[in-house]
Amino acid sequence: MCGIVGGVANKNIISLLLEGLNRLEYRGYDSSGLIVLSKNNTFDRVRSLGKVKNLEDNLKGRVPLIEGNIGIAHTRWATHGEPSIHNAHPHISKNSVSLVHNGIIENYIELKNDQLSNGYLFTSETDTEVIAHAIDFAMKSCSTLIASVQLAIKSFSGSYGLGIISSKYPDQIIAARKGSPLVIGIGVNGNYIASDQIALLSVTNKFIFLEDGDVAEIKIDKITIYDFEGNLVKRPVKISKLKLGEFDVGDYDHFMQKEIFEQPQAIRDTLESRITNDSILISTFGFKAEEIFNKVTQVQIVACGSSYNAGLVAKYWLEDIAKISCNVEVASEYRYRRPILLNNTLFVTLSQSGETADTVEALKEAKKINSSITTLCITNSAESTLTRLSDLIFLTHAGLEISVASSKAFTTQLVALALLTCSIGKLKNTINKKQEKEIIDGLKRLPGLVSEALLQENQIKKLAIKFKDKNSTLFVGRGTMHAIAMEGALKLKEISYIHAEAYPAGELKHGPIALIDRHMPVIAIAPNDELLEKLKSNLQEVKSRGSQMIVFEDENSMVKPMEAMEVIPVTSNLGRITAPIIFTIPLQLLSYHIAIIKGTDVDKPRNLAKSVTVE
Ligand code: F6R
């Protein structure tokens, strides 16, 4: 969370800072701010509440206009201290140091008390301000800015991605990272920093991804990097393939809608070069994957949010099809509960961003618990912390996902997990050649099936109207559809702010059925599988309690419409792998259109951020 961008160049840096902030808004949008060193080496700072647009408007009103060739900027997702101007970054210490921060300094109260006794004044309730004061204090005993930062960070516990400038060192930015992502962009007429390369694409496609503990001194013509121990290090320069055009919403109203409709292509791209006509290429998980998967005796999946829901689907697949034991857990719990990790475990992290702090920490923890395990990350972000920490990497090729609510990242994760299931099943001989071919055929049909499901948008738009005044909704499904129901409920709450819960349909009678009345719609998913008849009985139970029901079914499920029940055939002849992916589509569309009716900020829902890089 929080996005930072900065640069030192041979021209005014303001427009680059604003452009970068706009691209980083997915990381938080409670407030934003920027600071430059003006010609006489004094700080010029502007901060605004809310979105970056407000900062832009604020800057337009400044006379004279703010200018500077060196500056840093920040878009905030509030952790310590409410969203307010005085808590907005950049923060300043004694007109000598200014900085932007992404992360949390956990021991800030202790540091603050020391600094108060040393005469430092605080103007915010943030944890960040102690960093500025700590650096200013260190400057008294150090001869360079970078040495001051290196000294100060030794006293911090927690996480940080930092961009720091000083009025005493007007030719440089210091960047430091621990836990939070930070990248250096190498330009022609300047050098830059950002939380994410997408902030800098208009000035460069050359990037250095800092490693945990790195501290860098960035001048217009020189970049010097040290590791946490203070050793001079060289980090590789990578060329980004990302294109600026991907940031355009095109003919769609919102990025979420665009990304929902990009799913056929995203799935095609994720499958490309990973399957042949009749088999899966196991080496797609890494050239040692075959050897590793052969030895694996259980799978542990760890993830958050939608990625966790994808993991839940995979548990059914891995145990049912590949006959391998699989556990799935949310990363924020896993990382703290000292779990048992047996030898020969394949430890899988799922993450669109590859930067989710809890998932990254859970992976580090797992490696500490049992260093013999093999780690696989399934992510949409090639240059991410998770890819750097994992033995095996599978990149979903969903393309840039800008909307905070995940859509194509989720369905492409499911595709990746289907390939994983098929690979392990093939090596363990739990699926034969014919079954492998059936799975491959199903995967190949997916883009077409998704396109068909998307044709229901108009019908779903009409359904959405029914939710206009609803406060709560229940999603039910059985088997993998319980996980899809969870994903549907998550989507609905995050973008429409309607309370939603998901239950395995068979569990309703153990409590939640008490909630059901005509004010509480129930959305059910009814694939044509071995649990269909049981689901139909569950629907009868719900109907008897007077609920309005919407059932998304496989045409062959033939759920009989009843009073106050709408049955919507999504498609037909879906299999165990294709069904959960396809039934996700109407749920995404439904949430999207309910959010439109409720008038929420669909792509940037309140209180959320796309990449959760703090605990
Ligand atoms: C929901 C959503 C979040 C993310 C979660 C994990 O629509 O987007 O729940 O799925 O924050 O993010 P990643 O996958 O980047 O680790």
The pLDDT confidence band at residue 591, using thresholds 50, 70 and 90, is very high
How high is the pLDDT of residue 508?
A: 82
Provide the percentage of residues in the chain whose pLDDT is more than 90.
Answer: 77
Looking at per-residue pLDDT, the higher value among 23 and 193 belongs to 193
Q: What is the pTM of this model?
A: 0.83
Residue owning tokens 């408007």: 57
Q: Do domains 250-453 and 455-615 have the same CATH topology?
A: yes
Q: What does pLDDT average to over the chain? A: 93
Nearest C-alpha neighbor of 72 from the set 36, 103, 39, 97: 36
Assess whether the C-beta atom of 406 lies below 6 angstroms from ligand 1.
Answer: yes
Nearest C-alpha neighbor of 174 from the set 125, 198, 138: 138
Is 560 designated active site?
A: no
Contacting residues for 324 by C-beta, under 8 A, at least 6 apart: 296, 297, 298, 299, 318, 424, 428
Q: Does domain 3-246 have CATH number 3.30.930.10?
A: no
- Nearest CA residue ID for atom 4, ligand 1: 305
CA distance 18 to 56: 7
Assess whether the C-beta atom of 612 lies below 6 angstroms from ligand 1.
Answer: yes
Task: Kindly report the number of other CB atoms within 10 A of residue 407's CB atom.
Answer: 29
CA-only gyration radius of the chain, Å: 26
pLDDT higher than threshold 80 for residue 172: yes
The pLDDT confidence band at residue 457, using thresholds 50, 70 and 90, is very high
Task: Kindly report the number of other CB atoms within 10 A of residue 532's CB atom.
Answer: 17
Assess whether the C-beta atom of 306 lies below 6 angstroms from ligand 1.
Answer: yes
Q: Count helices and strands (H / E) in the chain.
A: 18, 25
pLDDT higher than threshold 90 for residue 90: yes
Best of 26, 195, 254, 307 to mutate for ligand 1, by most ligand atoms within 8 A of CB?
A: 307
Assess whether the C-beta atom of 181 lies below 6 angstroms from ligand 1.
Answer: no
Give distance in angstroms: CA of 33 to centre of ligand 1: 26
How high is the pLDDT of residue 63?
A: 77
Assess whether the C-beta atom of 32 lies below 6 angstroms from ligand 1.
Answer: no
pLDDT higher than threshold 90 for residue 29: no
Give distance in angstroms: CA of 606 to centre of ligand 1: 15
pLDDT higher than threshold 80 for residue 378: yes
pLDDT higher than threshold 80 for residue 610: no
Query: What is the SS3 assignment for 479-538?
Result: CHHHHHHHHHHHHHHHHHCCEEEEEEHHHHHHCHHHHCCCCCCEEEEECCCCCHHHHHHH
The pLDDT confidence band at residue 536, using thresholds 50, 70 and 90, is confident
- Nearest CA residue ID for atom 5, ligand 1: 305
CA distance 306 to 301: 13
- Residues 522/542, Cβ–Cβ less than 8 Å: yes
The pLDDT confidence band at residue 538, using thresholds 50, 70 and 90, is confident
Assess whether the C-beta atom of 191 lies below 6 angstroms from ligand 1.
Answer: no
Assess whether the C-beta atom of 196 lies below 6 angstroms from ligand 1.
Answer: no
Looking at per-residue pLDDT, the higher value among 245 and 405 belongs to 405
Q: Which of 122-126, 172-176, 293-297, 382-386 has the lowest mean pLDDT?
A: 382-386
Q: Which of 108-117, 182-191, 562-571 has the lowest mean pLDDT?
A: 562-571
- Nearest CA residue ID for atom 3, ligand 1: 305
For residue 409, the ligand 1 atom closest to its alpha carbon is: 14
Provide the percentage of residues in the chain whose pLDDT is more than 70.
Answer: 100
For residue 356, the ligand 1 atom closest to its alpha carbon is: 16
pLDDT digits (tens, 9 = 90+) for 324-374: 999 999 999 999 998 999 999 999 999 999 999 999 999 999 999 999 999
For residue 410, the ligand 1 atom closest to its alpha carbon is: 10
* CATH number assigned to the domain covering 250-453: 3.40.50.10490
Alpha helix segments (H runs only) across 376-455: 385-389, 408-427, 433-454
Sorted by where each begins, the domain ranges of the chain are: 3-246, 250-453, 455-615
| CA angle (173, 175, 179) in 5-degree steps | 165
How high is the pLDDT of residue 161?
A: 95
How high is the pLDDT of residue 611?
A: 74
- State the average pLDDT over residues 48-61: 93
Looking at per-residue pLDDT, the higher value among 505 and 419 belongs to 419
pLDDT higher than threshold 90 for residue 581: yes
Is 433 designated active site?
A: no
pLDDT higher than threshold 80 for residue 431: yes
Looking at per-residue pLDDT, the higher value among 239 and 571 belongs to 239
- State the average pLDDT over residues 190-217: 95
How high is the pLDDT of residue 61?
A: 82
How high is the pLDDT of residue 344?
A: 96
Cα 47 from chain centroid (whole Å): 26
Q: Does domain 455-615 have CATH number 3.40.50.10490?
A: yes
- State the average pLDDT over residues 303-311: 98
pLDDT higher than threshold 80 for residue 615: no
- Residues 109/125, Cβ–Cβ less than 8 Å: no
- State the average pLDDT over residues 294-313: 97
